[in-house]
Chains A and B, each alone.
Chain A
């Protein structure tokens, strides 16, 4: 391992990244176990939990999804408010968001579930290379 430089700040690496990578890999395994057909159906039915709070399993999955780094994160874009919602990813200030092709929804709630399904795909695909 390299020694932290005393003279060149650009060579300093945040070792916390090592832990974060380890922790995230562990959490992804836990989250994948929680993603069942029942959890997906529960989210499709009521993505905000209105008048029927989310189950502990769904809440834990959502908590994981929501705290991911903001750059590259999905959000809903109101292309035509109240009739056409799309999914996009956010990037650095000053850069245009990127609209995803092929994702059109008639309501905010449908789009929320669209994002949920994309995130499940992402979690599963990012775990494929993990050592079990």
Chain B
């Protein structure tokens, strides 16, 4: 289990020919590293299949570069510049805020500070061994007061602290402010967790630490090369932090408990909900309401639009009641960008063909592939076929560690997982590489934001997912390989391109293919597909569980996605009450199905079941012999099993399955060509189809556990073919590409890429 590595990422998922993107590489070892551009064809190393395939490409970036190890700042916080020292007064001052700690007894955590931790200068409110501590230090001496009541986790408290330079004393007040909905327990628990106290006199005199104000952490030291590094990250919510030009008294603290502003001047008052509008709060910016202009910004995407201390539960949409959503939820393991310096940039030549590429980096025995996608020159198409790479879904799953972290992981997989060196590296170095939307932060909140800008170890061409097969990116290369082997000309674009360009992108092509698992989609992507298909476009949906979770791209940082999982669906976590709306768009999160856009409406089929022990096969249904659709079965014999073979679970119907359902919007002219058998008890019906749960909702017993191959035509010669199974494209290369899955793909793709109208049904 070697731990020496070279890792990297690109600045964005895709780049158009004629444009450029940067690459960011960190090496554990000093010296040099080698970089080469390659085009990727096939990733699965399964000896039954064609094996790994890449093509080396001549490029100006090919060469040797100096190696450096780059540090990653993990953990979310707010930083506020204060170069003038306004927030470190020499006179009396104080702070007030509300907090809801999630891991109070974990290691030391900074809550609100203007402090350098290496020389202990400035002031800081922190959590130490479960207790609140307010400290003032001048580099020689410190004075502090520690609450004698340890904080209860996930309970709101009002907190006031003060420093009196005349006596060198600090004081601290903490009072629980628990209502029926804002904390883990309610008012019926007779909690005893109030504290008021002060320190003895001291000789500490206030000094200006060489650090910004940090909310949810402590500055490690003064800036290093202009950058402040933050340590002692805080886990939990903070609401309405203020710095006061006076020391709050017990009476001032009572005002805070009652939700009233106390007397006197505020030096800073950060309202975390200020800026909320119909489009949410789609920004890192944090506003100072005091009038002194001490605005700040979030680092590493802490959770915004979170219920605050005064949330009363009558309104669940933060856009409608921003005054009750004044909290940010911070996590020590959140990450929005590794922020490594650029190692080199690639200017993509105008004539570089669109495709799936990677920069291969090597240092000694260590190697990494940094995948990215090259589209045709902006606004053009160079083929009649477009493969739409589901980058939103890749980001959602990026560095997922379900099998390492979830008790139920092996039950969901249906077998013992198989981990490799990359999984081990992720497990050991999770603070450097960040989490996926399938993971929990260390404090128990599901991960709602995920970023492209980090090494994504499970998005590497030869990676096998923990549950024992290829998945997403390396699986989608199965389709690329099949297109290459059969000399189809195709272009590549990504979800991120589709979000930017809309249906204009799709309309340049006769057929658009979605590969194995486009689960995470934005409103704009759904619109684009509908507009394309209803105006003569043709689609091939070769996966399952697509168009499922409502997803947003961060407007300021499109490499970051947001999801809020709930209130039903097959999900790793569920958004807390009152927190189902996306901060970055203001829209309701959860399933598209629950916002009247089930996937059946667009592609004909939608998610129905999943299991990962093995895959089944399809049997043809009466529509397969209908003259309108029998062309899809040209070359087939009667009642031939379809896809009873493959590299993903041993069959073309497996892992995740979609079904035809008129009640969920399958177009009524849709033909049901084939459905699948062979799914074990480990395949269960998805939660959104379970009303009263009961036994028998599993493979072999429930008719809902199946994948459906469907076809329907649309206006102006358009059409949609769906194979509705994640393992479908894993069968393409079986028997040296001579098989009936491959045959059906030829039958459909040859029709769809032609300029003639698709057969009408």
Q: Is the CB of B614 within 8 A of A48?
A: yes
Binds B, one of A26-34, A74-82, A123-131: A74-82
In the assembled complex, which residues on chain B have CB atoms less than 8 Å from the CB atom of A8? Answer: 149-150
Q: Is the CB of A99 within 8 A of B1?
A: yes
In the assembled complex, which residues on chain A have CB atoms less than 8 Å from the CB atom of B630? Answer: none
Q: How far is the CB of B463 from chain A (nearest CB, A)?
A: 10
In the assembled complex, which residues on chain A have CB atoms less than 8 Å from the CB atom of B418? Answer: 75-78, 85, 108, 111
Chain B residue, CB-CB nearest to A116: B416
Chain B residue, CB-CB nearest to A119: B416
Instruction: Give the CA-CA distance A77 to B404 in the complex, in Å.
Output: 12
In the assembled complex, which residues on chain B have CB atoms less than 8 Å from the CB atom of A39? Answer: none
Chain B residue, CB-CB nearest to A108: B418
A66 at the interface (CB under 8 A from B): yes
Q: Is the CB of B105 within 8 A of A81?
A: no
Q: Is the CB of B130 within 8 A of A70?
A: no
A66-B411, A70-B409, A108-B468 known; A75+B150 contact, CB < 8 A: no
Q: Is the CB of B416 within 8 A of A96?
A: no
Instruction: Give the CA-CA distance A78 to B469 in the complex, in Å.
Output: 12
| Contact indicator per residue, chain B 407-418, by CB within 8 Å of chain A (1) or not (0) | 111110111111
Chain A residue, CB-CB nearest to B3: A96
Instruction: Give the CA-CA distance A98 to B337 in the complex, in Å.
Output: 31
B400 at the interface (CB under 8 A from A): no
| Contact indicator per residue, chain B 484-496, by CB within 8 Å of chain A (1) or not (0) | 0000000000000
In the assembled complex, which residues on chain A have CB atoms less than 8 Å from the CB atom of B478? Answer: none
| Contact indicator per residue, chain B 606-640, by CB within 8 Å of chain A (1) or not (0) | 00000001100000000000000000000000000
In the assembled complex, which residues on chain A have CB atoms less than 8 Å from the CB atom of B408? Answer: 67
Q: Is the CB of A96 within 8 A of B1?
A: yes
Q: Is the CB of A78 within 8 A of B419?
A: yes
A window 51-75: CB within 8 A of B: 51, 53-54, 59, 63, 65-70, 73-75
Q: Is the CB of B404 within 8 A of A76?
A: no
In the assembled complex, which residues on chain A have CB atoms less than 8 Å from the CB atom of B442? Answer: 93
In the assembled complex, which residues on chain B have CB atoms less than 8 Å from the CB atom of A90? Answer: 403-404, 427
Interface size classification for chain A: 35 or more
B20 at the interface (CB under 8 A from A): no
Q: Is the CB of B680 within 8 A of A54?
A: yes
Instruction: Give the CA-CA distance A111 to B411 in the complex, in Å.
Output: 17
Q: How far is the CB of B118 from chain A (nearest CB, A)?
A: 24
In the assembled complex, which residues on chain B have CB atoms less than 8 Å from the CB atom of A51? Answer: 614, 650, 678
B420 at the interface (CB under 8 A from A): yes
Q: Is the CB of B130 within 8 A of A9?
A: yes
Q: Is the CB of A10 within 8 A of B130?
A: yes
Q: How far is the CB of B101 from chain A (nearest CB, A)?
A: 10
B45 at the interface (CB under 8 A from A): yes
Q: Is the CB of B1 within 8 A of A97?
A: yes
Q: Is the CB of A111 within 8 A of B431?
A: no
Counted as pairs of residues, one from A and one from B, with CB atoms less than 8 Å apart, the total is: 119
Instruction: Give the CA-CA distance A132 to B104 in the complex, in Å.
Output: 42
Q: Is the CB of B404 within 8 A of A10?
A: no
A6-B192, A53-B700 known; A93+B407 contact, CB < 8 A: no
In the assembled complex, which residues on chain A have CB atoms less than 8 Å from the CB atom of B193? Answer: 6-7
In the assembled complex, which residues on chain B have CB atoms less than 8 Å from the CB atom of A23? Answer: none
Q: Is the CB of A10 within 8 A of B416?
A: no
Q: How far is the CB of B401 from chain A (nearest CB, A)?
A: 8
Instruction: Give the CA-CA distance A53 to B683 in the complex, in Å.
Output: 12
Q: Is the CB of B45 within 8 A of A70?
A: no
B464 at the interface (CB under 8 A from A): yes
Instruction: Give the CA-CA distance A78 to B105 in the complex, in Å.
Output: 37
B681 at the interface (CB under 8 A from A): yes
Instruction: Give the CA-CA distance A96 to B430 in the complex, in Å.
Output: 12
In the assembled complex, which residues on chain A have CB atoms less than 8 Å from the CB atom of B678? Answer: 51
In the assembled complex, which residues on chain A have CB atoms less than 8 Å from the CB atom of B613? Answer: 48-50
Q: Is the CB of B151 within 8 A of A9?
A: yes
Instruction: Give the CA-CA distance A116 to B410 in the complex, in Å.
Output: 13
Q: Is the CB of B416 within 8 A of A93?
A: no
B166 at the interface (CB under 8 A from A): no
| Contact indicator per residue, chain B 187-210, by CB within 8 Å of chain A (1) or not (0) | 001111100000000000000000
Q: Is the CB of B430 within 8 A of A93?
A: yes
Q: How far is the CB of A16 from chain B (nearest CB, A)?
A: 14
In the assembled complex, which residues on chain A have CB atoms less than 8 Å from the CB atom of B700? Answer: 53
A95 at the interface (CB under 8 A from B): yes
In the assembled complex, which residues on chain B have CB atoms less than 8 Å from the CB atom of A94? Answer: 427-428, 430-431
In the assembled complex, which residues on chain B have CB atoms less than 8 Å from the CB atom of A75? Answer: 403, 416-419
Chain A residue, CB-CB nearest to B415: A48
| Contact indicator per residue, chain B 94-113, by CB within 8 Å of chain A (1) or not (0) | 00000000001100000000
Q: Is the CB of A6 within 8 A of B191?
A: yes
Q: How far is the CB of A64 from chain B (nearest CB, A)?
A: 10
Q: Is the CB of A70 within 8 A of B419?
A: no
Q: Is the CB of A7 within 8 A of B424?
A: no
Instruction: Give the CA-CA distance A85 to B416 in the complex, in Å.
Output: 12
Chain A residue, CB-CB nearest to B462: A81
A93-B404, A93-B430, A108-B418 known; A50+B150 contact, CB < 8 A: no
Q: Is the CB of A77 within 8 A of B47?
A: no
| Contact indicator per residue, chain B 304-341, by CB within 8 Å of chain A (1) or not (0) | 00000000000000000000000000000000000000
Q: Is the CB of B464 within 8 A of A115?
A: no
Q: How far is the CB of B228 from chain A (nearest CB, A)?
A: 24
Q: How far is the CB of B149 from chain A (nearest CB, A)?
A: 6
A67-B411, A70-B404 known; A93+B427 contact, CB < 8 A: yes
B405 at the interface (CB under 8 A from A): yes
B655 at the interface (CB under 8 A from A): no
A48-B614, A94-B431 known; A111+B416 contact, CB < 8 A: yes
Q: How far is the CB of A4 from chain B (nearest CB, A)?
A: 9
Q: Is the CB of A78 within 8 A of B405?
A: no
Instruction: Give the CA-CA distance A54 to B681 in the complex, in Å.
Output: 9
A68-B407, A97-B1, A97-B427 known; A49+B150 contact, CB < 8 A: no
In the assembled complex, which residues on chain A have CB atoms less than 8 Å from the CB atom of B1? Answer: 77, 96-97, 99
In the assembled complex, which residues on chain A have CB atoms less than 8 Å from the CB atom of B4? Answer: none
Instruction: Give the CA-CA distance A111 to B468 in the complex, in Å.
Output: 12
In the assembled complex, which residues on chain A have CB atoms less than 8 Å from the CB atom of B69? Answer: none
A47-B415, A96-B424 known; A81+B464 contact, CB < 8 A: yes
B152 at the interface (CB under 8 A from A): yes
B153 at the interface (CB under 8 A from A): yes
A window 12-48: CB within 8 A of B: 47-48
Q: How far is the CB of A99 from chain B (nearest CB, A)?
A: 7
Instruction: Give the CA-CA distance A38 to B47 in the complex, in Å.
Output: 32
Instruction: Give the CA-CA distance A81 to B104 in the complex, in Å.
Output: 42
**Could you write out 9 A-B pairs with CB less than 8 Å apart?**
A48-B414, A51-B614, A75-B419, A81-B420, A81-B464, A90-B403, A93-B427, A94-B430, A97-B419
- Residues of B bordering A, CB below 8 Å: 1, 45-47, 104-105, 130, 149-153, 189-193, 401, 403-411, 413-421, 424, 427-428, 430-431, 442, 464, 468, 613-614, 650, 678, 680-681, 700
Apart from A67-B410, A69-B407, what 7 extra A-B contacts exist at CB < 8 Å?
A6-B191, A8-B149, A49-B613, A66-B414, A70-B405, A78-B464, A82-B46
Q: Which 5 A-B pairs have the closest CB atoms?
A: A7-B192, A66-B411, A66-B410, A6-B192, A50-B614
